[in-house]
Amino acid sequence: MAPTGGILARFSLEGRVAVVSGGAGPQFGSSVTEALAEAGARVISASRSMERNEALAAGLREQGYDAHAAQLDITETDSITALAGRVQQDFGGADILVNSAVVGRGGGFAEQTPEYWQYSAQGNMVGLFAMCKAFLPTMVERQRGSIINIASIYGVVANDPGLYEGTDMKQPPDYTFVKGGMINFTRYLANYFGRQGVRANCICPGGYGDNQPAPFVDNYEKRVPVGRMLANDDIKGAVVFLASDAAEYVTGTSLMVDGGWTSL
């Protein structure tokens, strides 16, 4: 029998409370929620669709995990404040905050408008700030907390227009803008709250396989060193690591989960 404790024990999230915005989303969100629950955290999946949140939480509870659902509209600060209040009242606050929710309608440079950018900023920028503002005080009070922001490779490098040849797909310019800002805002949080026990890090996923047109998938897989697109389970280990005591000395960083894309 293997001894208890040691390095594997530092990856455990037993006794921690985790909130995941966009936690029932098919792209990253549900994988993040599952990973935190599987590592032992009491996890709250929060997004607009209570139906999807409740279905995800119920499925996790059936497997013996401690999972809950909550309503959240990342574009409404009142909704964020209400979520933080509920988490404080029901669970005593959050030890782990994962900002995975994203607002977006797609469209390329020609299609997007200044009005759309204001809408995008309200969710992706103001919403991110409001989430951190709402949940940080309890972390500071406890002198312990981990904030994990789900950014993107396109917050680090420019997208390659050649990927979209043979398709009608277009890379939304606001996405690159907000993900780049998220990464630097994460560094700000790390620098200002590190001495108060709060760590802040980003995960930058690569291209997520979501039944895109065959030419895009082919172009992407030819370029990425591991030869395939990112799948749901690929992000789980990174989330648990950054949330856990195993990453106690890791803050202000952007962890690339991109199959080597940004190494080229």
Bridge partners (DSSP) listed for residue 99: 21, 149
DSSP three-state, residue 135? helix
pLDDT confidence band for 1 (50 / 70 / 90): very low
Is 251 in contact with 201 (CB distance < 8 Å)?
yes
Q: Catalytic annotation on 175?
A: yes
Name the residue ranges covered by the structural domains of the chain: 13-257
Is 257 in contact with 205 (CB distance < 8 Å)?
yes
- The encoded tokens of residue 133 equal 């503002």
pLDDT tens for 65-78 read: 999 999 999 999 99
Is the per-residue pLDDT at 24 higher than 90?
A: yes
Count of beta carbons in the 10 Å neighbourhood of residue 116: 16
pLDDT tens for 211-251 read: 999 999 999 999 999 999 999 999 999 999 999 999 999 99
- The encoded tokens of residue 255 equal 């962890």
Q: What is the pLDDT of residue 3?
A: 53
What does pTM read for this prediction?
0.96
Exposed e or buried b per residue across 223-253, where buried means at least 16 C-beta atoms within 10 angstroms of its C-beta: bbeeeebbebebbbebbbbbbbebbeeebbb
DSSP labels, 77-118: HHHHHHHHHHHHHHHSS-SEEEE---------TTT--HHHHH
Point out the catalytic residue in the list 175, 188, 192, 208.
Answer: 175
For strand 17-21 and strand 96-99, is the pairing parallel, antiparallel, or unpaired? parallel
Average pLDDT over residues 150-160: 94
13-257 fold: Rossmann fold (3.40.50)
More confident site: 5 or 254:
254
Helix residue spans in 108-202 (DSSP H): 114-121, 127-142, 173-193
